[in-house]
Amino acid sequence: MPDALLAPSAPRLSPDAPVGRIEIRAASKPGYDVLLTPAALAFVADLERRFGWRRRYLLEKRVERQARLDAGEKPAFNPACGYARHEEWTVEPQPADLRDRRVEITGPVERKMIINALNSGAQVFMADFEDSNAPTWSNVMDGQVNLRDAIRRTITHTDAVSGKSYALNDKVAVLMVRPRGWHLEEKHVLIDGRPVSAALFDFGLYFFHNARELLARGSGPYFYLPKIEGRAEARLWNDVFLHAQECLDLPPGTIKATVLIESILAAFEMDEILYELRCHSAGLNCGRWDYIFSFIKKFRNDPDALLPDRAAVTMDKAFLNAYSRLAVKTCHRRGAPAIGGMAAYIPVKDDPVANDRAFAQVRADKEREARNGHDGTWVAHPALVPVAREVFDDLMRTPNQIHATCHDVRVTAEDLLAVPQGPRTEAGLRQNVAVGIGYIEAWLRGQGCVPLFNLMEDAATAEISRAQVWQWLRHGAQLDDGRTVDHALVERVIKEELAAWIGRVGEVALAHSRHEEAARLFSDLVFQHRFAEFLTLPAYDRLMEAGS
């Protein structure tokens, strides 16, 4: 890809614009002043002034690309990428504490969760400001406080109900942090009158306060990068990293970052993404749930891209299996780790049969990933760490499988675009509606990660639910029983599933629930003609309106 396509010839807002104001439109709490210091805010403001215009430009390019996809264009590998795609090169070597990542646990930046995840026995804990965190100001800032305390090993927690106390073990997981995506803003913080990029705010505040402390403790500032759609967006992160390290007088490559391949467009630019971040790269991850959502979103106008029930879209099928194998091949060719996807199952405490079935499904999923060559995998619950670890210990006897180059793997553009076959049922429709309402309700209350129907749901899985209902409506999908998915059917199912949620909640808790508001938002998202890019954008506006 020619460099001229990676950035505009001139910024819309010059990075050399005069320094203006930094304004925080939110209440302070004890501990926030330690983080929101003049020096830290100046660092974040500098990042925004230097790179915010490029972020906005790249978001405009996303809109232009989507218009071409809506008109029928299909993604393809870019033959003009030259060196990045066709020549032999590798990323910089991995730090010692990132060479074995066989089990990674993820979760929100909530205090108790951080302690339990770091103590879980996983090699890595990814602390998440993005899909599993509803970005109220208190959630974002408490998360920064919690991570600062965890790094300095001063973090403790006492449960207000049980009285149980939590503290860190002597040995804990390596910490990685996922900031929010390029598409999001932190509207509680204005730089020169404009909301700051949520990604730059999350990254900047964490990096400024913790990079040196992490290095002093034998680790480093490690990140997961979400929602990247191609090479240009990876290059922007790389330039942010270079500048941030220079500001703190740290050498290039101190930062390491794993990119989540959770966009169908990014799957066609894996080599290029690794190349742009090669000094800072810690490989790629198969963000499977957002990837399914991306497939629906990007091909929303294509009736041939109709997916079956969400439960039938598994990693051994069509485009998902192809992208998993391509990620492994690409990463290993470049000397980088390829981390597998999330096991969303959680323990089923009151049903031993269902619990055994869930654990068996997790075990089969992790066996497939390990045999495909992945160097590690994700789980959402501490109880699944030993399950995943047993599989990788058995099938991966070395710290990783980067040495397995997968020369025999051949993945074509057609493979990446192959639509899986499977049933489309009323049960699948109802599951999407129930999950969508249930998750949005929790999100509006400030909870970004919630167990629903024996699965751990976050924004990515909720996105699949509402996107699939929109897709089926848009194209009048036929269910297996011959009925057409139309407005009347979906409206009836929404009413019935809302009533079911109200029944589950009970009259006492109903006064504090937001299920009716969640159902209205879900209806808005699935019935509107224009597809909403992310449900978290209108949902975030509701958080702001509520003063959160």
Residues with a known catalytic role = 178, 458
Q: Is 317 helix (H, G, I), strand (E, B) or coil?
A: coil
Looking at residue 81, the DSSP 8-state letter turns out to be G
Element (H, E) at 186: strand 185-191
Residue pair 358/348 in contact (Cβ under 8 Å)? The answer is: yes
Find the radius of gyration of the CA atoms of the chain. Answer: 22
SS (H, E, C) 404-456: CCCCCCCCCHHHHCCCCCCCCCHHHHHHHHHHHHHHHHHHHCCCCCEEECCEE
Q: Give residue for tokens 């218009």.
A: 67
Task: Tell me the backbone φ, ψ of residue 51, rounded to 5 degrees.
Answer: -120, -10
Could you give the CA distance from residue 336 to residue 355 in angstroms, rounded to a whole number?
A: 35
Do residues 228 and 62 make contact, with C-beta atoms less than 8 angstroms apart? no
Q: How far apart are CA 351 and CA 181, in angstroms?
A: 37
User: Look-up: residue for tokens 């660092």?
Assistant: 43
Pair 336, 91: CB distance under 8 Å: yes
**What gap in Å lies between CA 293 and CA 290, rounded to an integer?**
5
